[in-house]
């Protein structure tokens, strides 16, 4: 429901703004680029870099992905260090412990069930990677790397790989693929079922990637569209309406940033749980 | 619904990318590579330096809390048991002491009764003995008295005979002797 609404919002906003202003500056803000955008002050251009014919330039999203990862690593190692001195968490440690325990007890444990500990590092890393990316995108002059389809696709592929690995690990490679097809299916239907189930396997990560990408993109586009209202109408008085609404959407984005990290992780957990415990 | 809007969105974005070059939905291979590398590295590093120590610390703490709770529960049970035991032995001791007191009271009562009975018998015996002694003494005294009276009578008679007396005198003498006797 949220997905369909957000995609609708993106489509409508893009159509209207493009029709009205005749430029795709919003897309340039949302998309990846080879510069750090500090407009209206300056743009910091990043070097182009190619290897084996593949464009491996360090782009804006790569920079912010590294920034987010570095931040995440520093935060979590500090939390880990805090436990060495005292078992009783305080302030900073306590704050992050809430999220870690939440991922463990509310996401991994109920969705995967028995043997969830093995998948906990992956789920935790995915959750915090997306969380930091989402929140980093809300900082002015930064970019949301989780709103890039390449990033979300890779994340979804990792979830897919972990799911398949977990399924084959606990059921055996043959048993896992046999378990994908429901019991009691007539042999005549088998060719169709195999195709359907195979497609079903692929749609799950596809939906994961599109959901995260669309949700993280939609809010930004709406904020930009609301701001552009001032320029489209060519009257600064529109700021009185546009800025509060943009602020409202921005606040909503904070909620969405948290929610999407949660949804991505819990769905990954669900898929892993379904693959690991096939008996149902 | 979802499929419809997603499809519309995809169509729009693809058309954007065709016109603008490098659209919203075109997957950038370089970024995908960097994402994979970053994520795998992050997964390995965080698992090694953060998740393992944090999760084990959390588990250790939870176990410690669970253990201490269980121990407290156990200690409580034990204390309850000890209390019940104490109460049990206390009531037993009370019963015991009651019994002992009852026994000793009974014993004392018996002893008292016995002693009273004994002393009564003793007294009776003593009285009887005393009575017998008195009787005996009385008889002896009577015997002696009789003897003395006889002797005195003989002596009196002797004196009377010796002094040859008239009746008046005799009478006085006899009276005098009798008086002497009664004085004795």
- Quick check: is B156 in a domain? yes
Q: Residue B38: which H helix or E strand, with range?
A: helix B29-46
Task: Give the mean pLDDT of chain B.
Answer: 83
- Quick check: is B174 in a domain? yes
Which of A48-57, B11-20, B33-42 reaches the highest mean pLDDT? B33-42
For the beta carbon of residue A7, count every other beta carbon within 10 angstroms.
27
- Quick check: is B22 in a domain? no
The answer to whether the Cβ–Cβ distance between A149 and B24 falls below 8 Å is yes
Q: Distance of alpha carbon A92 from its chain centroid, rounded?
A: 25
- Quick check: is B15 in a domain? no
A75, A121, A224: which to substitute to probe chain B, counting the most B Cβ within 10 Å?
A: A121
Chain A residues in contact with B5 (beta carbon < 8 A): 3-4, 7-8, 11
- The pLDDT value recorded for residue B2 is 46
ipTM for the assembly: 0.83
Q: Which residue has the tokens 């201490």?
A: B68
Shortest Cα distance, chain A CAs vs residue B84, angstroms: 38
* Strand-pair category, A50-51 with A54-55: antiparallel
Chain B, residues 19-38, CB within 8 A of chain A, namely 20, 22-36, 38
Q: Which two tokens stand for residue A83?
A: 């436990």
- Quick check: is B18 in a domain? no
Q: Residue A44: which H helix or E strand, with range?
A: strand A42-45
Sign of CA pseudo-dihedral A240, A241, A243, A248: positive
Q: What is the pLDDT of residues A8-22, one digit of tens each?
A: 776 776 666 555 554
C-alpha span between B121 and A214 (Å, rounded):
123
- Quick check: is B1 in a domain? no
Q: What is the pLDDT of residues A121-166, one digit of tens each?
A: 999 999 999 999 999 988 888 888 888 888 899 999 999 999 888 8
Radius of gyration of the CA atoms of chain A, in A: 22
Which structural domain, as residue segments, surrounds residue B84?
34-183
Half-sphere exposure (Cβ direction) of A131: Cα atoms closer than 13 Å: 18
Q: What is the pLDDT of residues A40-79, one digit of tens each?
A: 777 788 777 777 777 777 888 888 999 999 999 999 888 8
Chain B residues in contact with A128 (beta carbon < 8 A): 46
Give phi and psi for A44, each to the nearest 5.
Answer: -100, 110
- The pLDDT value recorded for residue A179 is 77
Chain A: residue whose CA lies nearest to B54: A80
Q: Does A84 touch chain B (CB under 8 A)?
A: yes
Domain boundary assignment for chain A: 2-32+80-276
Task: Look at chain B and report how many structural domains it folds into.
Answer: 1
The answer to whether the Cβ–Cβ distance between B49 and A77 falls below 8 Å is yes
Chain B, residues 47-76, CB within 8 A of chain A, namely 47, 49-55, 57-58, 60-61, 64
């Amino acid at each position: 429901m949220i997905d369909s609404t957000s995609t609708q919002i993106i489509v409508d906003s893009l159509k209207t703004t493009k029709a009205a202003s005749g430029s795709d500056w919003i897309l340039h803000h949302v998309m990846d680029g080879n510069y750090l955008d500090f407009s209206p002050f300056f743009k910091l251009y990043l070097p182009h870099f190619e290897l084996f014919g593949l464009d491996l330039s360090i782009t804006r999203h790569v920079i912010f992905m590294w920034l987010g990862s570095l931040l995440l690593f520093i935060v979590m190692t500090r939390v880990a260090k805090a436990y060495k001195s005292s078992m009783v968490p305080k302030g900073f440690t306590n704050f992050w412990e809430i999220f870690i325990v939440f991922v463990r007890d509310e996401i991994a444990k109920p969705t995967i069930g028995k043997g969830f500990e093995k998948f906990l590092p992956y789920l935790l890393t995915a959750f915090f990677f997306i969380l930091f990316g989402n929140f980093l995108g809300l900082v002015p002059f930064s970019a949301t790397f989780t709103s890039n389809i390449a990033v979300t696709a890779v994340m979804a592929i990792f979830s897919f790989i972990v799911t398949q690995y977990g399924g084959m690990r606990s059921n055996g490679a043959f048993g896992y693929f046999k378990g994908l097809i429901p019991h009691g299916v007539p042999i005549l239907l088998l060719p169709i079922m195999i195709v359907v189930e195979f497609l079903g396997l692929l749609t799950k990560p596809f939906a994961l990637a599109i959901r995260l990408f669309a949700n993280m993109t939609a809010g930004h586009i709406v904020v930009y569209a609301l701001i552009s209202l001032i320029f489209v109408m060519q009257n600064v008085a529109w700021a009185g309406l546009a800025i509060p609404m943009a602020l409202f959407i921005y606040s909503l984005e904070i909620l969405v940033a948290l929610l999407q990290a949660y949804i991505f992780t819990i769905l990954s957990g669900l898929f892993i749980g379904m693959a690991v415990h096939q008996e149902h | 619904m979802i499929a419809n809007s997603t499809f519309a969105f995809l169509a729009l974005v693809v058309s954007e990318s065709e016109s603008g070059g490098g659209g919203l939905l075109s997957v950038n291979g370089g970024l995908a590579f960097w994402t994979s590398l970053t994520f795998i590295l992050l997964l390995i590093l965080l698992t090694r330096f953060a998740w393992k120590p944090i999760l084990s610390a959390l588990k250790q703490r939870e176990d410690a809390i669970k253990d201490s709770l269980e121990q407290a529960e156990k200690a409580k049970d034990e204390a309850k048991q000890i209390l019940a035991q104490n109460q049990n032995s206390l009531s037993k001791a009370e019963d015991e002491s009651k019994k002992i007191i009852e026994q000793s009271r009974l014993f004392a009562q018996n002893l008292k009764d016995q002693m009273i009975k004994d002393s009564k018998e003793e007294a009776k015996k003593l009285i009887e003995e005393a009575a017998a002694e008195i009787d005996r003494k009385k008889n002896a005294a009577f015997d002696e008295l009789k003897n003395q009276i006889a002797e005195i009578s003989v002596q009196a008679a002797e004196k009377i005979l010796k002094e040859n007396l008239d009746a008046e005198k005799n009478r006085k003498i006899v009276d005098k002797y009798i008086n002497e006797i009664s004085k004795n």
